[in-house]
């Protein structure tokens, strides 16, 4: 009778990790696709949202605001396909750090703005309270997903996996 021992902790992690990476990749892709799609229809509003942070000159803020939805959509598509996953995750992490810094800066300076993360954003109406802490915590959660993908980008169902001759599960030292 041939009895196989139960998998050890490292073996279980190696079996589960690619599927966790897949979930992280698809979750982050959904975030970028929803965020970009919510802004792409009104690029002027996206520019006003960036300008509301009062960090960049108006002309620069409007250009950044107009470009941002397309960057978010591109990241979403790349992550959805699993193409250039590590690079897309690293760019995502950098962008999320900028978002956290921007929201934190607005909070610290007493600005009353909507982050504009999933819509038009900008100045809040008189008496309307901003929700900075939940926005920062949400973005930090997304940052965890991006960080996971920077470390473990290989997933079983991805263009990266199809283009690579290596199996979808990476070595322990990677």
Flag whether 57 is in a domain.
yes
Has residue 169 been placed in a domain? Answer: no
Q: Region 2-17: what's the mean pLDDT?
A: 78
11 found inside a domain? no
Q: Would 4 be classed as within a structural domain?
A: no
Residue 171 clears pLDDT 50, i.e. is over it = no
Residue 31 included in any domain: yes
pTM above 0.85, yes or no: yes
Structural domains of the chain, count: 1
**Domain coverage including residue 92:** 16-155
112 close to 123: Cβ distance less than 8 angstroms? yes
For 66-114, what is each residue's pLDDT tens digit?
999 999 999 999 999 999 999 999 999 999 999 999 999 999 999 999 9
Instruction: List, for residues 106-123, the tens digit of each pLDDT value.
Output: 999 999 999 889 887 888
């Amino acid at each position: 009778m041939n009895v196989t021992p139960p998998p050890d902790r490292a073996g279980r992690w190696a079996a589960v990790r690619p599927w966790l990476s897949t979930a992280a990749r698809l979750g982050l892709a959904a975030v970028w696709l929803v965020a970009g799609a919510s802004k792409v229809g009104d690029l002027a509003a996206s520019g006003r949202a960036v300008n509301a942070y009062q960090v960049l000159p108006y002309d620069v803020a409007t250009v950044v605001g107009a470009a941002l939805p397309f960057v978010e959509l591109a990241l979403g598509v790349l992550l959805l396909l699993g193409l250039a996953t590590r690079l897309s995750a690293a760019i995502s992490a950098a962008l999320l750090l900028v978002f956290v810094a921007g929201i934190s800066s607005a909070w610290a300076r007493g600005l009353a703005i909507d982050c504009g993360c999933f819509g038009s954003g900008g100045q809040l109406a008189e008496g309307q309270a901003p929700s900075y802490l939940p926005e920062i915590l949400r973005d930090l959660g997304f940052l965890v997903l991006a960080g996971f993908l920077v470390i473990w980008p290989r997933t079983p169902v991805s263009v990266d996996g199809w283009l690579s001759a290596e199996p979808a599960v990476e070595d322990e030292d990677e």
